[in-house]
Structure formats: structure tokens, C-alpha cells
Amino acid sequence: LSEYATRAGFHVSRKMAARGLFSSVRFMSRTAAAPSLLKKRLQELIPIRQAEVKEFRAKHDDYTVGSYTLSQVYGGMRGIKGLVCETSVLDSEEGIRYRGYTLPDVQKLLPKAPGGEEPLPEATFWLLLTGEIPTAEQAASVSKEWASRASIPKHVVDLIAAFPETVHPMSQFTSALCALQSESKFAKQYAAGMNKNLYWDYTFEDSMDLLAKLPTIAALIYRNTFKDGVVAAIDPSKDWSSNFANMLGFTDPMFTELMRLYLTIHADHEGGNVSAHTVHLVGSALADPYLSFAAGMCGLAGPLHGLANQEVLLWLTNLRAKVGDNITEEQLKDYIWQTLKGGQVVPGYGHAVLRKTDPRYVCQREFALKHLPNDPMFQLVSKLYHVVPPVLLAHGKAKNPWPNVDAHSGTLLQYYGLKEASYYTVLFGVSRAIGVLASLTWDRVFGLPLERPKSMSTSGLKAYIEQDIAFKANPSTNKPPVNEE
């Protein structure tokens, strides 16, 4: 019964299996019979973009793009221009642009669900992959195709069901992704012998399959870890976010709208952040999209990256427990200073690149002002928005004292009933797949090589700089520095 149920699209949860019950997720065929609207458009764009990049590189391959300092070498390579990312660009003052469009542009221009106000993540994927604003019909075609590819193999279901509830949701998520790699079309074709010109094709197919399956995997983890294990069936007439919200167990239309917004604004943040760079790096070794994305999610699980949204909510919860809801600005300042003097950071504030309030924070703030203006947690977040930056500036160590995306997301999720903070990074991961898999597809289109930057030791850097100083002081008697490492 279990084997048949899984093959037919039924998912056996740990809790439900113990009671001899099963939760159903409707089975769909895994691949479309003919190229989809999205793939057809991509096939039209690829030769144009390949020719553009080929001509550009032929003229300027020897051009010096920039220089960097010792501080950047020791400082996480921040500001070093060393990657190509077509899907989005992050400006320190303006924030993220998806293919040239700001987030307000994206909210305004991308297709919405019937009766909805927030953009569809499927439309975001179309935009990031093609550079074009899709029509409602094109966005709907992606929704239907993802629904058709959403079935999960039995061994992945069994793996998730076997995890004890003490395993962190992100650990479950990355493990399930690695197990799902058995479905990789890219890996199978590569093992059989594949022409390099087809790398992008099977990367795209894997990406579409993976994006289709992620909500079901994420919902299984949530329902098994925190609820009764029942996962609702996929409805092919609904959009990606609507099915995801329903599988999680949330039927409030406003939670679905929040999911559409959340999954759109977390989708991409150019190529240098930990998760995006990791997917690119691992993918450059020709690892398939499943393994590349799983590696990126291990990076997202770090507290300086995606886990920060969990850290923010825990910090806010502790703040409310100690001070209460009727907190004054002076009490807030005292608490923030205690945090800083204790050698801790104020989570949700500051960013490695941004030097202004994160536009993703602003999108969420505007959603809250419209739908939950009187929520106590939102009011606390609003007070912090005015109090934290001056304190951080006075502290003198923050280059950017302004709130980032993590400062707000947990508040919205809590309001609509998703209170399990340890799960929030999984939601982030489902969203981030949209951007990094679109980018990985273009890595394959352009045939980007194995990434292998040069590293140096401290002694090597010292010798190099000493030689350079001596050469510049007296070039007639000293040789230019040579990196012997």
C-alpha cells in the first residue's frame, strides 16, 4: 500500500504512518510532452545573448575591470568585481534590481493572481530567466507546468518521515534535496555522454523540476515536524504560492498574498551572496542543479545569511518578554546598547553591500501598514526602525545601520500563524531557488568555466607588498613584484 500510494502521488508522513493513515498530494506527469512557452522563449533568446557575449569578450577580454586592496582580500572579498550574474544587480544605494526593474517596478508590472495584488513568483522566474515581463498567460503556463512536475519519489518522502523532530528544518531540507538528486536529468545525461551545447537544456529541465517539487518538500517538512503530518493535495488550477500555502495548512487568502510577496522579494540578490555564489561555484564543477542548490542551502542556513530571519524573531521575542509591549524609546535604546556591549549584533540591521534601508524591508513594511497596522509585534518593529540606526551609528562599527529584509519577515509570518521560527529559512530557500536556478541556467548557456580564484598566504602577501613598495620607490634598481605562490 505504501509503495503504491507513493507512486500514485500520496505522501506518507511520520506521524500519519504511525496511525496507519496517509495524506494525499495529487500525482501529475513529470514532464511536458512539448517545449513549454518559457522554454520556447528561452530557446529564442539564447543564440542572441550568446552572440552578444561572444562579441563583447572578443573586443574587451583583456580590459581591466577593477583593482582591490589588502583589506578586501582579508575582508570577504567585498566589493571585488569577479562574477557575472545576469539575473539581478545590487546597488548599494538603490537596492536590488531584477533584470533592471526595481522591486516597486516588479510589484507593479508582474502579473497577479485573480483578485490578488502581489506579483506571482512564477512571473518573477520568467523575468529573471528571460529578462522580460511575462503576460498573464505566460505566467499561468509556468504555474501549470510546475504543478505537473510536483510529484516526489518515495525514498524522499520516507527520508523526511524518518527524521526526528529534533533535526532542524534546514538540515531536513538540504538532506531531502540531496536525496532528490536521483531525479536529475542533467546527471543522467552527463553520465550517458552529453554534448556541451545541451548543458543548459538539462539544467533548465532540472531547475523546472526542482522548483516544482520544492513546495511539496518544504510542506512535508513543516507538517511532519510541527503539525499532524497531513499535506493537502496540489490543485493544478492554482498558482505556486497558493498551492504552497494550502499544503502548509494555511487557507487565509492574505497569507497566500504574503507568500506571493515573500517568495518574490527573496528570490534573488545578485551573484555574490553566500547562497547564490555557492550554487554558482558548485555548479561550475558541473554538479547538477540538485546538488548545486543543496550546497547553496547549506550556506543559507548560516546565521549571517538566511538564518538571520530566525535570529531576528528570537531577539524580538526576548525583548518583548523582558520589557513588554508598552516599551518606550529610551527602554529600547538601553536594550540595544546591552546587546551591543554584550558582544552581540542587533539582528536584522546592516548589510554587506547596501548602504540604505533594504527595499525588501520596505515592501514588507508597506504590506504590514496595509494589513496589520495595529499588530503589537509590527509596532515594535516600527519603533526599532527609528531607534536602532542612531544607536548603531553612535556605536561606530556599522557601515550600514539600516534594516535589511530579515528585520521584518518573521513579524508578518507570526501574525498569520506561522510561528515556528526555525522553519523560516526553509521559506527563504524555496524563494531563493527562483533566482539561483535561473542564474545557473545562464551559466550553462555561456559555458562559464570551473571557478578557481587564486589564494595567497599572509607571508606571500607580505613579500609581494614589500617588493612592490621597493619597486615603486626605485624602479631602476628593483624588480617588479612577482606572486610566487
Residue 80, helix vs strand vs coil: coil
Nearest to 440 by CA among 187, 205, 261, 144: 205
Active site residue 155: no
- The whole-angstrom distance between residue 287's C-alpha and the CA centroid of its chain comes to 19
Determine the Cα–Cα distance for residues 247 and 258; give it in Å rounded to an integer: 15
Instruction: Measure CA 171 to chain center.
Output: 16
Identify the active-site residue in 268, 305, 358, 408. Answer: 305
Q: Which cell numbers in the block locate residue 113? A: 493572481
Core vs surface per residue 139-157: b (16+ CB within 10 A) or e: bbbbbbbbbbbbbbebebb
Question: How far apart are the C-alpha atoms of 392 and 485, rounded to whole Å?
Answer: 40
Specify the DSSP element, H or E, that contains 96: strand 95-98
Quickly tell me which residue has 512557452 as its cell.
Answer: 37
Sign, CA torsion 130/131/135/139: positive
Task: For residue 292, give the C-alpha cell.
Answer: 548545486
Angle, vertex CA 239, rays to CA 412 and CA 310, nearest 5: 25
Helix or strand or coil: residue 349? Answer: strand
| Three-state secondary-structure class, residue 234 | coil
The CA–CA distances, whole Å, from 39 to 46, 80, 129 equal 10, 34, 10
Taking the alpha carbons at both ends of the chain, their separation in whole angstroms is 62
What's the CA gap between 120 and 80, in Å, rounded? 33
Q: Determine whether 406 is an active site residue.
A: yes
- 34 sits in which H/E element: none
Angle of helix 424-446 relative to helix 37-60, nearest 10 degrees? 60
Q: Specify whether the CB–CB gap between 231 and 205 falls below 8 A.
A: no
Assess whether 305 carries a catalytic annotation.
yes
Catalytic positions: 305, 351, 406
